[in-house]
Structure 1
Amino acid sequence: MSSLFALSLAVCAIVSVVVLIARFRINPFIVLFAVSLALALCAGMPPQKAIASFEAGAGRVLGHVATVIALGTMLGKMLAESGGADRIALTITRLAGEKRVSWAMMVIGLLVGLPVFFEVGFVLLIPLAFTLARRTNTPLLRVALPMGAALSVTHAMIPPHPATLLALSAYHADIGRTILWGIVIGTPAAALAGPVYARFIAGRIGPVLPSALEAQFVNHDVPKSMPGFGITVLTILSPVVLMLVGSTADVVASPHTPLNNALHFIGNTDIALALATLLSFQVFGTARGFSRETILKFTNDCLAPTALIMLLVGAGGGFGQELVDSGVSTAITDLAVGAHVPLLVLAWLLAVVVRVATGSATVAMSTAAGIVGPILVHTHGASPELMVIVTGAGSVALGPLNDAGFWQIKEYLGLSVGQTIKTWSVIETLIAVLGLVFALLLSLVVG
């Protein structure tokens, strides 16, 4: 398959998805499923293999994301019903002021996003965004988008995320300097792509109707007695703490020892969220006077609106897998490798290409680093730490339709496909471009 033909197939597939959903109002899951199969067949895959590829991709993504969404939604529901979200919202508003809520959410996103994946941080913080927007009469997009931008920046540019650790190894970069340059580059990138752009775009995309998920978190009577600020924050951040504890497993105990295995177990994303959700049943449930039957009703009711989100996230994974298994993504990557450009730009460009081809920032970063890493070893043409950062920046570019985060943002915030492209896809692209530009400028100083 020629690179140009592969690129044409990918572009046609993406355009078809947008047009069929936005113009002809066809169910997004049906569109993603049909277009994925059509792309695979046009690329020459046998029909049975095309179907199996979609199922494998959907199952792989849902195996992780569905659990995260379900547990995070339950935790968020308990936070909202107990008045915990209102307690945090009132405290943040008092400390930061209503006019600086978007900046406060960006800072919270940067801090919470350091040890967790984007999807985890998003489901943990979105109830707070809903509540803050309501409490301060601020458009939801101006609260939620800065938070999302901050989570995306930390996911892509700052260790200890798994993809950044792989890139660190591939480029033989120093983790301390990478964290330092990641903060130096990532903070202004998050500010410009988050609060600044959110303020610009929020009133320019037309009306945004409340989503079904938003109703789960804000349409309730706030109890007169709300949980304390400290215990509320501790409960929300408990999965983050457990993940941090898990990340120290190989430092405090030898591999495969009982202690090492136990720390890895409690630090697992799913286990940490499950333990936090169980804790919320006590802190936000029985301790606030709710019966077990009421807690069960809360957790059952809040899951219903997540069904479509899970289907779309899975379909996005299937779409990405078809691009990989059909050879389309490989052909496009070969096209990018053939371009004679500086190493920082090549790493960024490759990450962008793989991001569009697979939809996964983690896959994009690890793949690009694996290709460019050996080249850097022999040429020494750029700072290894900046190579990690530009690869991470490119890995979040475009916010494509085969990315799980695209559909999370769309459904949670009640946006159309077109509105999601104008908001989230642009934010992801701004992060990617700003990360590259700032890294190139910094390379003039650090070499």
Structure 2
Amino acid sequence: MTRLSVEMLAADTVQPITSAGHARLGIAVLAGIAVIVLLITKFRLHAFLALTIGSLALGAFAGAPLDQAITSFTTGLGTTVAGVGVLIALGAILGKLLADSGGADQIVDTILARTGGRSLPWAMVLIASVIGLPLFFEVGIVLLIPVVLMVAKRGNHSLMRIGVPALAGLSVMHGLVPPHPGPLVAIDAVKANLGVSLALGILVAVPTVIIAGPVFSRVAARWVDVPAPERMIPQRPSEDLENRPGFGATLATVLLPVVLMLAKALADVVVDDPADVTQRVFDVVGSPLVALLAAVLVGIFTLGRPAGFSRERISATVEKGLAPIAGILLIVGAGGGFKQTLIDCGVGQMVLDVSKHWAIPALLLGWLIAVVIRLATGSATVATVSAAGLAAPLAADMSTAHAALLVLAIGAGSLFFSHVNDAGFWLVKEYFGLDVGQTVKTWSVMETIISVVAGGLVLLLSLVI
């Protein structure tokens, strides 16, 4: 297992924008995070504004010149948006095509038609995991929870037995598996290999989602026994059941970017020659941009055309898919700005200097940093982006596999105990018709199980690879 080293960044150290000592930098980090938390929770300020103000507050508390703090923030924002902004847009388009064409319904209906009562929780995990691959967490909830409610109501099943596995599938994909924004940002920050991160992410995700989904749902159903709220159960119009894309074509479209990225990872291992034509081809087609772009272009024909979409309807669907992601882009970008401010103030080097005498493995430290920021801000994406910035120096002397495991450790920590400062908490509460206590017993505990199990599996993997 890779541990902290004094010489990690000796060759690549960048002069910080402040001469503050470790104590002042530590106080500045806590103050910056406190400002963000206070603005989000107390004053209900949008996370983009809170992160912007918190970044400037961090620089001010650290004694950095304001103009340099602004430059650090804007540089980090621009770099982050440039790196993942297009990917977020392409993922949103694919998700909108999947929803509007009826492709998502086709996957759901096909799997449910082949499952019985006892296997329904496992079916919901599979549905959520497959559909959750190209979708943002909030979009996945909006898409899947109505299905969960219909299944629970029509089959007279426990809402928690059906709902918790679906939520677990969505959450695990969101925190551990690219091309979701959080893992992509972390991969970029620690300079990890995308294909290796994806492969290890899937390896960790499978047992994690089983434990947090079907297994924990048995306990959750005993703790909280509530019926599906009638007001939230949608009535599908009859025309929605016609002219849908086929199950095979829909599934192939959703999995296409994952297959392309895994193919690139396999080529990197088998060929391992940057000058080889085969590897160069796979490097191109397996890049996140090309993989997602290919899925969108294929989806226009495999999802839009079978649903009877005209060119105008496809164009409108793409436009509607892009509209809701403005806030996500800004939050992710501002998180990158906060990360860059942390780095430029010398916080990364401070983490190395302070922790060099600790016996804490680097992977565990990355997990703990993400846990603290998650609890403080309520955002898994903010926790991932910020923790990746702080933990990035830890990856300087890591192997390819261990750098990927650091990404997964951060992603696992970012899911720890969702509570009242997390938008997902309130989405689940309202959709399932729960009170705050019931939401904590189910959703919050499930998120904690995901975080702890995934973090433990990452540490175990680090011992054998």
Residue range with higher mean Cα deviation, 39-48 or 21-30: 21-30
1:25-424 pair list within 5 angstroms: 25-97=44-116, 103-104=122-123, 106-107=125-126, 129=144, 132-133=147-148, 135-137=150-152, 143-150=166-173, 152-153=175-176, 183=203, 187-194=206-213, 200=220, 222-250=240-268, 251=270, 254-339=273-358, 341=359, 345-352=360-367, 355=370, 359-360=384-385, 367-370=393-396, 391=406, 394-399=409-414
C-alpha contact 1:398 1:428 (8 A) present in aligned 2: no
User: For residues 77 and 96 of structure 1, what CA distance do their matches in structure 2 show?
Assistant: 27
Q: Deviations over 1:360-408 (max 9, x none)?
A: 47667764343577xxxxxxxxxx98x779745532354289xxxx999
- Report which of the two has the higher share of helix: 1
Task: Tell me how far 1:191 sits from its aligned partner.
Answer: 3.5
User: For residues 448 and 70 of structure 2, what CA distance do their matches in structure 1 show?
Assistant: 31
Q: Which runs of 5+ in 2 are unaligned?
A: 1-19, 153-158, 374-382, 431-435
User: For residues 285 and 399 of structure 1, what CA distance do their matches in structure 2 show?
Assistant: 35
Of all paired residues, the percent bearing the same amino acid is 31
C-alpha contact 1:397 1:428 (8 A) present in aligned 2: no
Taking a change above 3 Å as real, the CA distance of residues 54 and 368 of structure 1, as seen in their structure-2 partners, is same
User: For residues 462 and 278 of structure 2, what CA distance do their matches in structure 1 show?
Assistant: 42
C-alpha contact 2:128 2:167 (8 A) present in aligned 1: no
* Matching residue of 2:33: 14
Task: Tell me how far 1:313 sits from its aligned partner.
Answer: 1.2
User: For residues 325 and 219 of structure 1, what CA distance do their matches in structure 2 show?
Assistant: 55
C-alpha contact 1:239 1:273 (8 A) present in aligned 2: yes
C-alpha contact 1:190 1:431 (8 A) present in aligned 2: yes
Q: Deviations over 1:103-132 (max 9, x none)?
A: 44545677899xxxx887869977863564
Q: Deviations over 1:410-430 (max 9, x none)?
A: 899799xx99x9799976765
Q: Secondary structure at the match of 1:396?
A: helix
User: For residues 46 and 34 of structure 2, what CA distance do their matches in structure 1 show?
Assistant: 16
Q: Secondary structure at the match of 1:25?
A: coil
Taking a change above 3 Å as real, the CA distance of residues 371 and 150 of structure 1, as seen in their structure-2 partners, is same
* Matching residue of 2:433: none
Letter in 1 for 2:394: A
Taking a change above 3 Å as real, the CA distance of residues 425 and 335 of structure 1, as seen in their structure-2 partners, is farther
Letter in 1 for 2:334: A
User: For residues 335 and 65 of structure 1, what CA distance do their matches in structure 2 show?
Assistant: 31
* Matching residue of 1:380: none
User: For residues 392 and 81 of structure 1, what CA distance do their matches in structure 2 show?
Assistant: 33
C-alpha contact 2:168 2:209 (8 A) present in aligned 1: no
TM-score (norm 2): 0.67
Residue range with higher mean Cα deviation, 259-268 or 361-370: 361-370
User: For residues 458 and 92 of structure 2, what CA distance do their matches in structure 1 show?
Assistant: 37
Q: Deviations over 1:12-60 (max 9, x none)?
A: 3223222212221222221111111111121121111111111111112
* Matching residue of 1:378: none
User: For residues 426 and 10 of structure 1, what CA distance do their matches in structure 2 show?
Assistant: 28
C-alpha contact 2:92 2:321 (8 A) present in aligned 1: yes
User: For residues 219 and 4 of structure 1, what CA distance do their matches in structure 2 show?
Assistant: 62
C-alpha contact 2:97 2:317 (8 A) present in aligned 1: yes
C-alpha contact 1:132 1:143 (8 A) present in aligned 2: no
Task: Tell me how far 1:152 sits from its aligned partner.
Answer: 3.4
Letter in 1 for 2:287: N
Taking a change above 3 Å as real, the CA distance of residues 4 and 148 of structure 1, as seen in their structure-2 partners, is same
C-alpha contact 1:85 1:131 (8 A) present in aligned 2: no
Letter in 1 for 2:28: L
User: For residues 96 and 371 of structure 1, what CA distance do their matches in structure 2 show?
Assistant: 48
C-alpha contact 1:122 1:148 (8 A) present in aligned 2: yes
* Matching residue of 1:381: none
Task: Tell me how far 1:269 sits from its aligned partner.
Answer: 0.7
Letter in 1 for 2:87: V
C-alpha contact 1:189 1:435 (8 A) present in aligned 2: yes
Task: Tell me how far 1:237 sits from its aligned partner.
Answer: 1.1
**Paired residue total:** 399
Letter in 1 for 2:337: G
User: For residues 210 and 458 of structure 2, what CA distance do their matches in structure 1 show?
Assistant: 16
C-alpha contact 1:124 1:236 (8 A) present in aligned 2: no
Q: Deviations over 1:176-218 (max 9, x none)?
A: xx96x994x76444434455667849979xxx9x9xxxx9xx9
Q: Deviations over 1:114-173 (max 9, x none)?
A: xxxx887869977863564354256867523433225535569x9xx969x9889xxxxx
C-alpha contact 1:337 1:346 (8 A) present in aligned 2: no
User: For residues 74 and 35 of structure 2, what CA distance do their matches in structure 1 show?
Assistant: 20
Task: Tell me how far 1:223 sits from its aligned partner.
Answer: 4.0
Q: Which runs of 5+ in 1 are unaligned?
A: 169-174, 374-383
TM-score (norm 1): 0.69
User: For residues 245 and 252 of structure 1, what CA distance do their matches in structure 2 show?
Assistant: 12
C-alpha contact 1:121 1:151 (8 A) present in aligned 2: yes
